Amino acid sequence: MKASPKITVLYVGSSLLAPLKQAEREIERAHAPGLRVAAYNFGAPLDESQWREVERELSESQVVFVIHVTDGENASRLIPLLEKYSSTQRAVVVINCMPELMRQTRMGRLRFGRESAEGRAADAKPEGGAARDGMARRLAGRVGAWMGEQARARRRKGRSHTQYLRYIERLPALLRVVPNAGRLRDAKNYLSLFCYFLQPTPANIRNMLLLALKHYAADARFERLELPPPESMPAVAIYHPDAPALFESFEAYRSWYERRAGKFTNLKLDPQQTVGLLLMRPQIVSGAHAHYDALIRAVEAEGLATVPAISTFMDNREACEMFFVEKRPLSVVSRSSREAERRLTKEGKRATDRSKTTDDGQRTTGKPRVSQIVSLTGFSFVGGPAMNDSEAAVEFLRELNVPFRSAVSLDVQTIEAWRDSWTGLNPVQAGMQIAIPEIDGATEPFVYGGMSQSGASPLPLEDRCQRIARRLARWNRLQVAPRSEIKLALVVFCFPPNKGNTGTAADLDVFPSVWEMLSRLRAEGYNVEVPASADELRERLLGGNSDSFASTANVAYRMTVEEYRRLCPFASEIDAEWGTAPGAINSFGGTLLVQGLQLGNAFVGVQPTFGYEGDPMKMLMARGGAPHHGFAAFYAFIEKVFGADSVVHVGTHGALEFMPGKQVGLSESCWPDRLVGELPNLYVYSVNNPSEGSIARRRSYAELISYLTPPVEDAGVYRDLAALKELLLAYRQTTDEGEREQLYESIEAKAASLHFDGTTGSVGSAEVNRRTPAHV
Amino acid sequence: MSEIREHTRLTKDERDRRVLELCEQVSEIEQRLIPTGLHVFGRASVEAERADLLRMVASFDRPETGARALPQLIAEGLSVNTTSPPDEAATELSEQSLRAREQVEALTREAVGRFLREGSDAACAWLETAARVDVVESRRVFAVLEKIAAQLLDNRELDAFARALRGEYIEPGPGADIVQNPSILPTGRNTHAVNPYSVPSDLAYARAERLVKLLLERHRAEHGRYPAALALVLWGLDNIKTQGEGVAQALWLLGVRPLRDGMNRVTDVEAIPLEQLGRPRIDVVMTVSGIFRDLFGATMGLLDRAVQCVAALDEPPEANYVRRNIRARMEAEACPFEEAALRVFSNAAGNYGTNVNFMVMDSQWEADDTLADLFVTRKCFAYGRDAEGRALEGREARAALNGALARVEATYQNIDSFEIGITDVDHYFEYLGGVSKAVEKQSDARPAIYLSDALSREAKVRSVEETIRLETRTKTLNPKWYEGMLKHGFRGVAEIESHVANTFGWSATADAVDDWVYTEVAETFVLDEQMLERLRELNPHSARSLVARLLEAQGRGFWQAEAEMIERLRDIFTGLEDRIEGVA
């Protein structure tokens, strides 16, 4: 009996596993009982037991696919294994990987490592004279050059991925004219496999496997198969879970959306209340989009319309331009309408019209059709996974002036592993899909779905989707609600807790800063009361009723334990660590105290501290478990009692973002997530502290507004130091040894009074080198 | 007085040399940049405040714009040498070299002054005449300064605040100080970190080589040999701003170089051959902040790989301290290799900080051991991978950290910026002080404690004592600094108090503060009646905390103060208490 064929697929991401599993079942049923498709996610470094498994699979496989692997460590371990089993493996097909892996492609006579040389050879020695062959030769030449580029280095910066996709779209047609035999056979096969892969519909993935089996499994059952050309899907389009098909134009989407609006929903594509979502194409094509669907539905459930655009993900600008921006020639915009918009701006609506010059010099105006953009790709806005062109991203987004959010799907770890882990999102994804989008100005770094241990395609994390959706709705309220109705909580810090430290912040004078902010808010039309001066603001905050509660600041609200428990469903978890509410901190007479001062629609609050003061046992714990009741009550007050639309933290830095929980990619049981809740969080933060600031961005969803560090000057000399300097100068200026001796005595006396003894002062390179033996 | 008489017996040359050394020390203090106030959100800087900052900006090469360091251009124009190349013997300290440096400094100062008063053209022309600086070169320098000067006068922070509240796009921007990276301007942006896979950059790795050399040579000069092991504190702060200089220092100590993969990401290391390294590989115990751990997850793995790579090298023990220490520990304590080779430690996942600062600030400790143990309790979570390649994700490994610290002879932290000094925040003493206290307990000897000062044209290594003296002289006791703070009234007093508290933190953790520091703090802020009255008026709470802290320093034996001074402090403290309680 013939040995069962085996294919190993080493891939990265969440879109391929489901179609692979489906293809395995279908092929096994129709053609080859016993076919096995072994698939491994190579997105994160493998451990030893996983490597042993992979090695066993590789040793038994006739065909190996390596797809999207860009992890240097995995690549460097994989390459020797591919070489070790090269006699068993009849084909190694490497697609979209790093150059050193691309060079491992081996299919019959095709060797990627040598391809550029072969491409030239094909050009030089045509195998026939017919026009057909000439075309094939030219194609082979271009393909050869492309392969060479793939095998050598990264693609050039700035090249349009869509252009490349369009070229690829034409490939199937071109490939039909390439002979199935001879030296181009294997190159043709590679490109055919690649074409199937680029449109990873279940049928295409099945045919990709069958084509490989047909040519490289040496198995008669496959050799006679006739395979259809790849199914084709548009490169960019709008997707919607309720729609029967993809939309290739915004107009088509709009008419569907509005018809639907009449029937099922009240949602209209009002640019002020529409969220643009960027989705990854393979997930849509392969049908692995349950997580997208859930998020889209969650956003719509909050009353926001959506435009979910499939992005090429190498450059999101194209999808944005096409679907998120209304383009009109400038002349169409009448003077009066522009003036009307200007008036609107003055009255407090946001300016949305952006004029710009297109590449060909034609003036157009781009009016956003969306008021927020959420990337669900997790990758950089321009450049995809391989690189990031943040300058281009920022230029585009600045021009559009629509906030950019980026949420991440757990694609190289399972939902179960994420739940169990205190790290949260693993370092590979945190590096690529959090740190890099941040450089584009992305905010709201949520995890919204991912692969489960048993499933083959990504699932939504329902509560995360809801949280994102509600936060988008809160942000939207800041965009559209009349300013006079918007409520804001400004939070200042106090560490160590002591009246004198109220307004703790690195390099910032907090009360004058808050006073400036309040004044600006009033000028912008927010209904806030501005005290006569920064001093008055401080005196009212620190004074008030604070004496009667022995509190640091005025008590703005006393929360009963009953109300607290109602507002904070997680309060019982706090009981376990801090005792039954209200506990000893920020409490008085059985109630929890919220310290702050209400100034119209503004609340200026004092954030409680960690609560370790006077409690060495708490400090001695290796892990903190929870914030104290007073801390939780403070944020519950802001969101649910005061009813803030946004919280603004003032100064570097507070305790919220350092509360226990995952490092990044927080869950509903992480404390910062629970505390900040649904509130947009602005954080006035020192520009010279990008590290702690990044923690605030990731763990409390803060958007930082950087502030300048204070003026600096030379320290100069003063008092005895100035006198010493004078003496030293005098010594150096005279040549009279007698005078010098006298001066020296004064110098030593002065130096002694300044405590400049023999060991004082710094040792720079000069001194070290003087003291160092020469042979080092 | 006997000391002075001793000095007078010095030879003429020795005397001259001592004068030059004192000149160096005075000018180091004089020229150190210090903040002279606090920022108020949205407020633009005042013209007069910019001169020293711009001069500092002009003192560095700006490869991104092609501008070279102005003092270097001037020195070249005058054909004098003021800096020493990293690998050559430094210029001998001499009257001549000191004069050359003073001349260059004076010309630089004048050039920037002219630029501010009369503009670029005038400054360039003047420099060409006064110091034969090529106008093409100087124009590049002033182009950088022009941009910064304009940006400083145009503060958009409040606009950004208003825009953010309207739900508009807030641009991202890098985080650093202006001297390090002028592109942090304009402020009012959403500050970001760096791609962890880009760390360390080539430049950071090159700069780290020199710093590590200085550090090791200083230790050797003072202790006669290289440290058997060194405890390194790694933070996100400086590693973001310098693209990984701290990481690169760890790699240099171990004697490895970073390798980039085909995507240009740092994912592996390789050992530098011993003959190239020219010294032993130093064992490095890394205590990493929770923030670094979060922001540089991939780098945590890289550092662990570096240790494992060095531990696996078949090299003689006297040339590979990592291997030697691991072997020794395995033999002495029958502990497995995996445990003995752990070197990358941080908090339990999801937790931050050592709490040493909380305990010190809140005066909650009695024995030294408490602080030492607290540091280890909080920081004994190992990162990296086990033998099966599985991520450790913060495995509690108290014995491993204690065992590694027991062999440490020096502790060290990289400081990248003059803006955040070791008495400005409580985090330096909680980390570097904390680990030093833990080493002291585990090894029965206080380690040598070093800090680098990477942000000067010639990076320096200082002991913690030297650094505290410098910080005290340039900031805490400097009227220019505290008067600048007191202009901010209430908050200014809190800043002064906070500097004293952080200085106290260095007594608590490292016994690194001279008596005179406390004495002069007391004389400047408390025993001077006028000053005390000002502090009391502006912020009685912080004034009280300051006096209480001085009394605590004396009570804990950190300060040998005269009894009479303590009596007066006690009286003043009681007076402040009464006043706050409303008794007086």
Distance from C-alpha of B563 to C-alpha of B558, rounded to nearest angstrom: 14
Which of helix, strand or coil describes residue A454? coil
Tell me the count of A-B CB pairs closer than 8 A.
516
The nearest alpha carbon in chain A to B216 belongs to A768
Residues in chain A within 8 Å Cβ distance of B465: 759
pLDDT at A61 over 70: yes
Best B22, B289, B547 residue to mutate vs chain A (most A CBs within 10 Å) = B22
A439:B45 CB<8 A: no
Pairing of strands B266-271, B283-288: unpaired
Residues 425-464 of A with CB under 8 A from B: 426-428, 430-432, 435-436, 438-441, 443
Taken in order A81, A87, A90, A91, is the CA torsion positive or negative? positive
Residue A542 CB-density burial (10 A; 0-12 exposed, 13-18 middle, 19+ buried): buried
Give the pLDDT of residue A166: 63
User: What value, to the nearest 5°, has the Cα angle with vertex B33 and ends B28 and B34?
Assistant: 120
* Amino acid at the residue A629: H
Which of A171-175, A273-277, A350-354, A545-549 has the lowest average pLDDT? A350-354
CB contact at 8 A, A348 and A482: yes
Residue A145: predicted pLDDT: 57
Looking at residue B90, what is its pLDDT? Answer: 47
Nearest Cα of chain B lies from the Cα of A73 at a distance, in angstroms, of 7
Mean pLDDT over A64-76 rounds to 90
The better pLDDT of the pair A328, A729 is held by A729
Q: Cα(B383)–Cα(B389) distance, rounded to whole angstroms? A: 12
Residues B461/B452, Cβ–Cβ less than 8 Å: yes
Query: How far is it, in rounded angstroms, from Cα A502 to Cα A606?
Result: 8
Distance from CA of A704 to the nearest CA of B (A): 4
CB within 8 A of A756, min separation 6: which ones? Answer: A724, B22, B25
CA distance A194 to A202: 15
Q: Do A479 and B166 touch (CB under 8 A)?
A: yes
Strand partners, A357: A363
Average pLDDT score over chain A: 87
Q: Which of A404, A596, A600, A622 is nearest to A518 (CA)?
A: A600
Q: Cis link prior to A172 (omega < 30° from 0)?
A: no
**Neighboring chain A residues of B478 at a CB cutoff of 8 Å:** 715-716, 718
Instruction: Say yes or no: A738 contacts chain B, CB-CB below 8 A.
Output: no
Facing A728 at nearest CB: one of B26, B169, B173: B26
pLDDT digits (tens, 9 = 90+) for A682-736: 999 999 999 999 999 999 999 999 999 999 999 999 999 999 999 999 999 999 9
Strand arrangement, sheet containing A110-111: A36-41, A6-11, A63-67, A91-95, A106-107, A110-111
Is residue A469 scored above 50 in pLDDT? yes
Contact B84 A765 (CB under 8 A): yes
Chain B environment of A748 (Cβ under 8 Å): 3-4, 7
Q: Do A765 and B90 lie within an 8 Å CB cutoff?
A: yes
Alpha carbons A438 and B172: distance in angstroms, whole number: 7
The pLDDT value given to residue A165: 60
Q: For residues A29 and A11, what is the distance between their CA atoms, to the nearest angstrom?
A: 24
Which residues on chain A are in Cβ contact (under 8 Å) with B30?
A: 714-717, 721, 725
CB burial of A244-265 (b: ≥16 within 10 Å; e: otherwise) equals eebbeebeebbebbeeeeeeee
pLDDT tens per residue across span A89-131: 889 999 988 888 998 999 988 887 765 444 444 443 334 334 4
A498 close to B (CB below 8 A): yes
Confidence grade of residue A2 (pLDDT, cut at 50, 70, 90)? low
Do B349 and A422 count as a contact with CB atoms less than 8 A apart? yes
The closest CB to that of A712, out of B40, B52, B292, belongs to B52
- Interval A447-467 mean pLDDT: 96
CA dihedral over A201, A203, A204, A205, signed as positive or negative: positive
Q: How far is A381 from chain B (nearest CA, A)?
A: 13
User: In angstroms, how far is the first alpha carbon of chain A from the final one?
Assistant: 72
Which of A529, A542, A636 minimizes the C-alpha distance to A592? A636
Q: What are the tokens at A486?
A: 């918007």
What is the three-class DSSP state of B173? strand
Over range A226-250, report the average pLDDT.
93
CB B287 within 8 Å of CB B436:
no
Which residues of chain A lie closer than 8 angstroms to B417, CB-CB?
688
Q: What is the pLDDT of residues A126-168, one digit of tens each?
A: 343 344 455 555 665 566 555 555 544 444 444 455 556 666 6
Q: How far is CA B454 from CA A466, B98, B249, B451, B531, in A?
A: 47, 22, 12, 9, 35
Asked if B359 contacts B370 with a C-beta cutoff of 8 angstroms, the reply is: yes
pLDDT of residue A625: 84
Which ipTM value was assigned to this complex?
A: 0.96
CA B328 vs. chain centroid, Å, equals: 33
How far is residue A193's CA from residue A88's CA, in Å, rounded to a whole number?
A: 20
Q: How far apart are CA B512 and CA B521, in angstroms?
A: 16
pLDDT number for residue A17 = 95
User: What is the predicted pLDDT for the residue at B528?
Assistant: 98
Block mean pLDDT (10 aa), chain B, length 584: 53 91 93 94 86 94 93 94 52 80 95 96 97 97 96 96 98 94 96 95 94 96 97 96 96 97 88 98 98 96 97 97 97 93 96 96 94 98 93 94 97 88 96 98 97 78 95 97 97 98 98 97 98 97 98 97 97 94 66
Tell if the CB–CB gap between B461 and A763 is shorter than 8 Å: yes
The Cα–Cα gap between B39 and B544 comes to 25
CA end-to-end distance (rounded Å), chain B: 45
Vertex A98, ends A186 and A86: CA angle to 5°? 50
Distance from CA of B332 to the nearest CA of A (A): 28
